[in-house]
A and B are shown apart, each in its own frame.
Chain A
Amino acid sequence: MRMNRTANTILGAIVLSAGLTACGTSEEGAEATGEEVAVAEEMTVIEERQANFEGIGDAFMAIRGQLEEASPDFGVIAASAQTIDTNANKISGYFPEGTGMDSGADTEALATIWEQPEEFAAAIDRLTGASAGLVEAAASEDVEVVGAAVMNLGGACMNCHETFRLDDES
């Protein structure tokens, strides 16, 4: 009886820790085993695209960080604006069919991207327009001008995320 209870406790603990270990393993692993090379290629596209957005996000943060400083470093602002513009112009190539959330992959890309291709292209254009505007503004070395361009760019991010990226806040 006593041994039995001990065994139960051990079993419970093992199940618990197994559950936690499972939490640590990546979903990618589980998915990659299911299908073949095509899936693996989609994974890299998704990863590259997310890294591309991360680059945009970090650079945008760096610019806003500089604007919070008493004397912003316009060198940092110009370089970051250039990064955003370069990455923004790569976005259109990162969305082949079948790389949305429906595929089961770890992505926040909504099916609307492929259902409304014209709107999506317009959202990208709005971004590249705004990022080119920010590169120009950075060259002015004027805080007000850069500030206005930052707001404009921020609007372009929100505009696209609203319709084409999973809303994670509800």
Chain B
Amino acid sequence: MTEDRIKVWDLPVRLCHWSFAVLVPALWWTAENSEMGWHMRLGVLLLALLVFRILWGFFGSSTARFSSFLKGPGKVFAYFRGATKMQPATIGHNPAGGWSAVLLLGAMLLQVFFGLFSGDPFDGATGPLNHVVGVMTAGAMTDRHEFFFNIVLALVALHLLAIVFYAVVKRDRLVPPMVTGSRKMPAGVAGMVGVPAWRALVCAAIAAALAYWVWSGAPGL
């Protein structure tokens, strides 16, 4: 069987992915080591990347789009039933991986959301939107922010286990394509359909503006 090297992930998807992989441990570390100044800067950076990635899920290249990889429960179960068998060769997220990606994005977004309101000015650091809620709400947000990290951690663990499962059982290495953006596929499989670069710039500008507004304490809210 002949194989061709085709494009599967665009640069924005890869940059977002590896930034998440670096930022989540970094955010954990800064929180544990009383580096709240950095915790907040990195947290708002994560917010910007998450907003960008969500916009990119609507306006980005074919494999970045939610509409291309979010499948109904029927398809997901069918995929799981045949998980260890050969499946027709496709690129991008499979029906299970698509939901895992969305869950990870959603969990990180929720975690950042809690963090924005967390803290108590008489205790120490406060999130950039701490002042817009009452002291009891802020306290509840702090508790959720502390608890929900465990959920994020569980989803990350599941994600890593899936990668190991693919490597060991399915003999499919998922990490290199996420680095290089391309992989070998049987001849005839269609590659990723890209979009013009200006779209990424527009999405990045919107994400940066929103993050900056939040960082400034949401003036006008």
Q: Does B198 contact A (CB under 8 A)?
A: no
List residues 41-85 of chain A with CB under 8 A from any CB of chain B: 57-58, 60-62, 64-65, 68
Q: Quick check: A169 and B134 within 8 Å, CB to CB? A: no
Determine whether the beta carbon of A168 is less than 8 Å from that of B173. no
Of the candidates B25, B37, B168, which one forms a contact with A10 in the assembled complex, judged by CB atoms under 8 Å apart?
B168
A17 to B164, CA, bound (A): 10
Q: List CB contacts (< 8 Å) of A1-42 with chain B.
A: 2, 5-6, 9-10, 12-14, 16-17, 19-20, 23-24, 27
Q: Please report the C-alpha to C-alpha distance between residue A60 and residue B168 in the assembled complex, in whole angstroms.
A: 54
Q: Is the CB of B136 within 8 A of A170?
A: no
Give CA–CA (A65, B34) in the complex, Å: 26
B3 within 8 A of A: no
Given A23-B28, A158-B122, the answer on whether A13 and B136 have CB atoms closer than 8 Å is: no
Which B residues are CB-close (under 8 A) to A10?
Answer: 164, 167-168
Q: Is the CB of B135 within 8 A of A20?
A: no
Assess whether B125 is in contact with A68, with CB atoms less than 8 Å apart.
Answer: no
Asked if residues A68 and B134 are in contact (CB atoms below 8 Å), the reply is: yes
Tell me the complex Cα distance, A94–B175, Å: 50
Chain A contact residues, majority secondary structure: helix
Q: A23-B28, A158-B122, A161-B124 are in contact. Are A13 and B34 (CB under 8 A)?
A: no
| A157-B35 in contact (CB<8A) | no
Q: Which residue of B lies closest to A155 (CB)?
A: B122
Q: Does any Cβ of B come within 8 Å of A98's Cβ?
A: no
Q: Judge whether B160 and A20 touch: CB under 8 Å.
A: yes
| Binary flags per residue of B28-42, CB closer than 8 Å to A gives 1, else 0 | 110010111100000
Partner of A13, one of B37, B134, B135, B163: B163
In the complex the two chains form, is B160's CB within 8 Å of A9's CB?
A: no
Within 8 A of B (CB), among A77-115: 108
In the bound complex, do residue A168 and residue B125 qualify as a contact, i.e. CB atoms below 8 Å apart? yes
Q: Which residues on B sit within 8 Å (CB–CB) of A27?
A: 32
CB of B175 within 8 A of CB of A168, answer no
Provide the bound-state CA to CA distance between A5 and B174, in Å: 12
Verify A64–B135 contact, CB threshold 8 A: yes
The 8 closest A-B pairs by CB, nearest first: A168-B34, A65-B136, A168-B36, A9-B167, A64-B135, A13-B164, A170-B37, A169-B125
- Known A-B contacts: A20-B25, A168-B34. Give 7 more (CB < 8 A): A5-B173, A9-B175, A13-B163, A20-B160, A65-B135, A165-B124, A169-B37
Of the A-B pairs whose beta carbons lie under 8 Å apart in the complex, a sample of 13, sorted by A's number, is A2-B171, A13-B164, A13-B167, A17-B157, A17-B161, A23-B29, A24-B153, A61-B135, A61-B139, A154-B122, A168-B34, A168-B124, A168-B125
